Structure 1
Amino acid sequence: MDATRTTPAPRQHRTAESRPEQARTEEARLEQARVEEARARDRRHVWHTWSPLAADRTALMVSHGAGHRVWDVDGKEYLDAASLNSTCGYARPEVIRAIGEQAARLHHFDLSLAGQEPAGLLAERLASYLPPELSKTLFVNSGSEGFEAALMIASAYWSHLGRPRSRVVGFARGYQGSTLLTRSMSTLPRSRHLLRSPVDATLVELPLLPRELRRPESAPLLLAAFERALYENPEDPPAAVVVEPFLNVGGAIVLPPGFLRGLRELCDATGTLLIVDEVFTAYGRSGRMFASLREDVTPDILVSSKGLSGGYVPIAAVNVQQRVHDTFGEDPVIGGLRYGHTTSGHSVACAAALATLDVVEKDGLVERAERLGGVMLDRLAPLADDEHVVDVRGLGLILVVETASPETAASVVVRAREQGLLLRQAGPSVMAVPPLVIDDEGARAVVDGLAGALADTVA
């Protein structure tokens, strides 16, 4: 009897212990199967942007994020220094709450039919950051759309004045977007297209290497190149000059101090509109709310996008001087702007942007970008002594290490990712562009991780 009573006890004890273990094993198996199916689904159906067909983008399958970090579907943690959009980081409660509240109240209403409060509030906020002349805002959904709108506005402006102009001057290594119109403003291989160009563009080659161009004494040489382009054909004056304050896709190139100010003066002397493309640099990334404010320059048209809503919802803004805006009453078809999209000024996107800008102001992210960017640049500077490094440069929280070749840069990016740091590549350059909310510890980790990945690559 005693044996009969005690025999089941060990079996019952083993079963109680094994059930949780079995359950955990089964949960892990199901989770792994789900992850593999997610990767397979992506490979079957998703066409990844700007990616070779041979590249497997599912090697990094991001699951979630918080602050300046993200995690992949396998649970590995990464420090994000590759996000061009992230202003206030991932999973910011204030932005998430604003999106939900606005979606519950009014997700959107077409601005071609009526006004809606979020668009007005955001346009007012942007006007408060900019010189008073830039008082009108056209909202679109992306930087490409915004720049396309800017080109069309510039051309229409001259037509309204009865002095049609269509030629545009810009950087040969500039990048203004991926639409047909914006691709025509670049000679970069990735921007080439097989259709006839709709833009008469005069594109200026860089007169110096990037490591030389960023020096103040290079500004006169670069300005002389633009002056020649402006006066290339006196019978065909340009409608506009187009510039990025930082050439991102074109090679992570920092322009010399004084260039934007000198270009504004050239445009004034020739009566040419100045369009500044701040799709990448605006909203603190450059260490100023707008990079053009570093030189107290007022463009005629300013385009911004990426940081405006911190990447939470697509949105872009085209800020236009009042004098340009007012000529559209002369439009012969509708007496106004013949451009826009059904989702222009999307209510939820505007709410997300307003919440993002609240965080930028409350957390002092513009000042943080300037301070931390300077600290990180100083810590990266010794890498310039490495024989495999051509230059170290930066602007705000944009840090650039130019290596000897695109292959070296690609290897550094891969090695860094293996070690839990996400970086970007721009030709031979490695770029670190962390969310503006990154803290001092995170900034040190970016510098150490980049330096370590470089050392491993060239060892």
Structure 2
Amino acid sequence: MTAPTAESAAQSQADLLSVDADFLWHPWSPSRVSAETTVVVAGDGCEVQDVDGRRFLDAKSSGLNATLGYGCRPVIDAISAQLRQLMTYDMGEGSNVPAIRLAERIAGLTGPHLTRTFFCNSGSEALETGIRIARFYQAVLGFPERTVVVSLDNAYHGSTMAAAACSATSSPVADDVAPSGFVTVRRPGRAGAESIEGPEGIEDLREFLSANGTRTAAVLVEPVQGRGGYVMPDACLREIREMCDQQGILLILDEVMTGFGRTGRMFAYEHAGVQPDILATSKGLSAGYMSLAAVTTTTRVFDVFDRNKDKAGFVHGHTHSGHAAACAAGLAVIDFIETQGVLSNVRARGEQLLDALEPVRSMPGVRDLRGRGLLVAVELDRARRAARVKDHMRGSGILVRRTGRSIVLAPPLIITASQTDRIAQALVAAASAAASEAP
């Protein structure tokens, strides 16, 4: 692990947090800065080190984006080489080699129909782009009334205006300023306290589309919800694909968290054997080494724009769309996944983690254990108990993610068997300790 810089070593974590509290505006305010906030100064493999020299096993991959861990030399070298040659060039009036090659590479991975990729900078931007494509697509085809985007409850699609509006539970936007045309329905796999695994679990969506299909532009789905690790049943995803096809509605799949290996396949939709019309990816695409996201569409969707330039075109973009160094990182990440057996490791470690966590199912205060690949969640009965589990884990030297009452595990895809055991043993112990404490 790289040693901290002289500047960071000269200040303690407490000193830095004091400055942080005075000057930084953190995401997801009110600020979460406290004496327990980790100021990370170095990382190596699956571990990070704070400014006071304490080491932690990062079981959440930073923000689920450090998918290849820290210090991945092939990715760093690819970025460095590209920066020395050309950091980027305006994609609005030109192009660059890494962007061209990465778009070609993505088309080779996503399947026979997903062929056109638009690059942007973050998952939120990717979802905004996908929504805009869907609405423009319908309007150009002569259906301007098709503006509604339907999403599922408990989903998280980003923090920008339209992305946040795609789920009532995750939107920070006040009702009086929220954009219109967004509807949330009950997600498949849940009916009260019961789990519904078959196509009958999408009755709410079916009913909505039956009544409102002619004004619906797209259905937006996460194959595995990042908020709580709910796995979309494969049968439900196939049924949603069929409903969209029947009614001329586009299917947008949000694989910002799951794309590029998180579930043990390159893309989570492969488990169900379906393809979306629009695919949004980000976190795993550059493994946290650069800011990069991709929106990949079918040839059919792209051709509607290409044939109707006088009506639409696609007047949308970002200064850093297709940033050359970021795209070089994406190419190196894909190379690493394909040559280093990453997907097979995800499948093996994911099964190992779920098996080792099985004892928590019967513990007081635990409601569920679920997951796919290396996206696993333990749901507690209340958020306060989940917060205590997270604190116990940190005390054991392991950083985890808490969303509401769920502890979400999403370690780097390169995690070893021994590190997986360490996470599972610590979580079993933490859940046991939290169960014995007062509610």
Bin for the TM-score computed over the shorter chain: over 0.9
The amino acid of 1:147's aligned partner reads: L
Q: 1:79 to 1:159 in 2, by over 3 A?
A: same
Cα shift at 1:140: 0.3
Q: 1:114 to 1:32 in 2, by over 3 A?
A: closer
- 8 Å CA contact 2:186–2:205 kept in 1: the answer is no
- 8 Å CA contact 1:231–1:237 kept in 2: the answer is no
Q: 1:160 to 1:95 in 2, by over 3 A?
A: same
Counterpart CA distance in 1 for 2:175 and 2:303 is: 36
Counterpart CA distance in 1 for 2:141 and 2:187 is: 33
Name the SS for the 1:218 alignment partner.
Answer: coil
The answer for unaligned runs of 5 or more in structure 1 is: 1-26
1:42 and 2:20 aligned: yes
Percentage of matched positions with identical amino acids: 38
Deviations 1:201-250 (A, max 9, x none): 2311247259743xxx532222222111112236x43111110011112x
Aligned residue pair count = 428
Q: 1:324 to 1:455 in 2, by over 3 A?
A: same
Q: 1:203 to 1:40 in 2, by over 3 A?
A: same
Counterpart CA distance in 2 for 1:282 and 1:211 is: 29
In structure 2, the residue matched to 1:255 is 232
The amino acid of 2:323's aligned partner reads: H
In structure 2, the residue matched to 1:113 is 93
Q: 1:60 to 1:374 in 2, by over 3 A?
A: same
Cα shift at 1:449: 1.2
In structure 1, the residue matched to 2:326 is 349
Name the SS for the 1:239 alignment partner.
Answer: strand
1:405 and 2:382 aligned: yes
In structure 2, the residue matched to 1:305 is 282
In structure 2, the residue matched to 1:218 is 197
1:296 and 2:270 aligned: no
Deviations 1:187-209 (A, max 9, x none): 11553435433231231124725
- 8 Å CA contact 1:171–1:205 kept in 2: the answer is yes
Q: 1:264 to 1:31 in 2, by over 3 A?
A: closer
Choose from 149, 155, 158 the match for 1:168.
149
In structure 1, the residue matched to 2:160 is 179
1:202 and 2:180 aligned: no
In structure 2, the residue matched to 1:22 is none
In structure 2, the residue matched to 1:130 is 110
Cα shift at 1:82: 1.4
Q: 1:163 to 1:426 in 2, by over 3 A?
A: same
In structure 1, the residue matched to 2:123 is 143
- 8 Å CA contact 2:198–2:233 kept in 1: the answer is yes
TM-score by length of 1: 0.89
Counterpart CA distance in 2 for 1:31 and 1:99 is: 27
- 8 Å CA contact 2:8–2:51 kept in 1: the answer is no
**Greater Rg by CA:** 1
TM-score by length of 2: 0.92
Q: 1:139 to 1:400 in 2, by over 3 A?
A: same
Choose from 73, 77, 85 the match for 1:97.
77
The amino acid of 2:258's aligned partner reads: T
1:77 and 2:58 aligned: no
Counterpart CA distance in 2 for 1:102 and 1:29 is: 28
119-128 or 204-213, which deviates more? 204-213
Name the SS for the 1:258 alignment partner.
Answer: helix
In structure 1, the residue matched to 2:291 is 314
Counterpart CA distance in 1 for 2:72 and 2:215 is: 48
Deviations 1:87-123 (A, max 9, x none): 2110111111111110010000010010110001111
Counterpart CA distance in 2 for 1:344 and 1:378 is: 42
Cα shift at 1:370: 1.2
The amino acid of 1:221's aligned partner reads: E
1:374 and 2:347 aligned: no
Cα shift at 1:330: 5.0
The amino acid of 1:70's aligned partner reads: V
Counterpart CA distance in 2 for 1:69 and 1:95 is: 17
Q: 1:195 to 1:114 in 2, by over 3 A?
A: farther
1:449 and 2:426 aligned: yes
- 8 Å CA contact 1:286–1:396 kept in 2: the answer is yes
- 8 Å CA contact 1:160–1:330 kept in 2: the answer is no
- 8 Å CA contact 1:143–1:177 kept in 2: the answer is yes
Q: 1:69 to 1:211 in 2, by over 3 A?
A: farther
- 8 Å CA contact 1:169–1:238 kept in 2: the answer is yes
Q: Tell me how large the CA RMSD over aligned residues is.
A: 2.2
